[in-house]
Amino acid sequence: MPSYPRYMILKDKSLFHATWQCHNNDFYLKRKWAQQKYYDLLIANKDKYQVTLISFNLMDSHPHITGYIEEAVKLSNFFKTVNSQFARFYNKRTNRRGQVVMDRFKSPIIESQSELLKVMYYIDLNQKRAFVNKHPKDNEFSSFQHYAYGKEEPLITDPQCYIDLGETPEERQEEYLRMVEYILAHDWKDKKNYSNIDFIGNPDWVKMRYFQIKAEVARRRELKKKKKPRPPNEADDNQDQPDPVLKKSKYKK
């Protein structure tokens, strides 16, 4: 699958799953003070860039964050600010120089609220799949404690898919925990590609989105061809040149 620029993938009013890797796949987020700083930067900048954060899980080498963005361009500005501030802080704290965040962040679009809930369950279990923790309740910097046990969490906003799980907060927490426990008992090892793709959703919807992008690419190419200046032909080259016959016919008085 060809790579497309973010502006052709991420649109206004989109649900997203964002992640990035530490440079050289190192574990710059492993220390508690590093995770706390990154968490604080997310809180400090989310309102400034009008990013609604829905769930998160900070791994040792990368974060996972889901959310909603009204204006797509603001998501890039948000992560540019947060990641650059974190890199400067980390380098100063550890007395090092160089890159902290590897490349640009990835931000696949999520089709719907139902697909969002699947992604939330999945990223809650990342430490389990990495054999770091046996249960997501042991993930300190994660939204699981909020959705499963009701812990107050200032970073995130409950999505509609979570609100629909029950009529009361207790019912929602019970249903969320029940689903995670079910996955733990059955298919927690099942890996999903929720990071290295452009779209998360129904296969037919994904095909439609790629079709739309290909059509947009073709349209832009056609416009570029039309705007390209026409190369001068031979007649154009000779248009402003003096007639050699007339030039030779001149004589002195």
Give a yes or no: residue 157 inside a domain.
yes
pLDDT the model gives residue 232: 63
Give a yes or no: residue 70 inside a domain.
yes
Alpha-carbon distance 11 to 75, whole Å?
A: 10
Domain hosting residue 137, numbered range: 6-216
pLDDT the model gives residue 225: 80
Give a yes or no: residue 173 inside a domain.
yes
Decide: 43 and 237 in contact? Cβ < 8 Å.
no
pLDDT the model gives residue 102: 86
Question: Residues 64-105: pLDDT tens digits?
Answer: 999 999 999 999 999 999 999 999 999 999 999 999 998 789
* Residue 203 buriedness (CB in 10 A; 0-12 / 13-18 / 19+): exposed
Domain tally for the chain? 1
Give a yes or no: residue 13 inside a domain.
yes
CA distances from 223 to 49, 210, 218, 219 (A): 33, 20, 9, 6
pLDDT the model gives residue 239: 52
pLDDT the model gives residue 70: 95
pLDDT the model gives residue 252: 46
CATH of the domain at 104: 3.30.70.1290
Give a yes or no: residue 180 inside a domain.
yes
Q: In sequence order, what DSSP letters do the residues of 151-201 get, joined into one string?
A: ---TT----HHHHTT-SSHHHHHHHHHHHHHHHHHHTTT-----SSSSEES
Alpha-carbon distance 182 to 191, whole Å?
A: 16
Quick one: tokens of 199? 């779209």
Give a yes or no: residue 222 inside a domain.
no
**Count of C-beta atoms within a 10 Å radius of residue 97:** 7
pLDDT the model gives residue 228: 66
pLDDT the model gives residue 113: 97
Residue ranges for the chain with pLDDT beneath 70? 1-2, 228-253
pLDDT the model gives residue 245: 45
Give a yes or no: residue 79 inside a domain.
yes
Give a yes or no: residue 97 inside a domain.
yes
